[in-house]
Structure 1
């Protein structure tokens, strides 16, 4: 299987901006060190400061599965569950 891309869009609750900065920083830094991670970046909407887009590229589905088991991802997912207004995740493969 070829590499896979993930685009995760989160709308955070404004009262948790500061807390998200800390958890996003750890998530990105630790994820970029993982075996199988090609790209892991955090973007912020220029129209809404509470909307963040995480763009990831992984070598395989197994690399994504391994990532989802890491302590930094689990901590992020647990926090995001109760502190976001909306979360959309799309896993895609490049076709062209």
Structure 2
């Protein structure tokens, strides 16, 4: 299984617009073969001193995929291309990590 945290930083004030597009795309992603988890998460406000906050423009996509092949297919799926094109002008940066459990 692969764990993929994807840090998405929207342009200032655009996070909710990006999240609307993201949520609209979620059913297609969840229908992909070997998608285990695909959900956006944001900071829990005022959790405490141990928290490093993402900030108001960032969210993290928590993804889990059954195999590298499933993740590769996800990356080139037509609905992902459409999502990327539709949000390109709203996103400042993307940082994606592909991780494997030990």
Classify the TM-score, shorter chain: 0.7 to 0.9
Residue 33 of structure 1 deviates from its aligned partner by: 1.4
Number of equivalent positions:
93
TM-score (ref. length: structure 1): 0.82
More helix by percentage = 1
Q: Which residue of 1 aligns with 2:61?
A: 54
More strand by percentage = 1
Residue 83 of structure 1 deviates from its aligned partner by: 2.3
Runs of at least 5 residues in structure 2 that lack an aligned partner in the other structure: 45-52
Q: Which residue of 2 aligns with 1:71?
A: 78
Larger Rg: 2
Q: Which runs of 4+ in 1 moved over 6 A?
A: none
Runs of at least 5 residues in structure 1 that lack an aligned partner in the other structure: none
TM-score (ref. length: structure 2): 0.78
Q: How much is the aligned-residue C-alpha RMSD, in angstroms?
A: 1.8
Q: Secondary structure at the match of 1:27?
A: helix
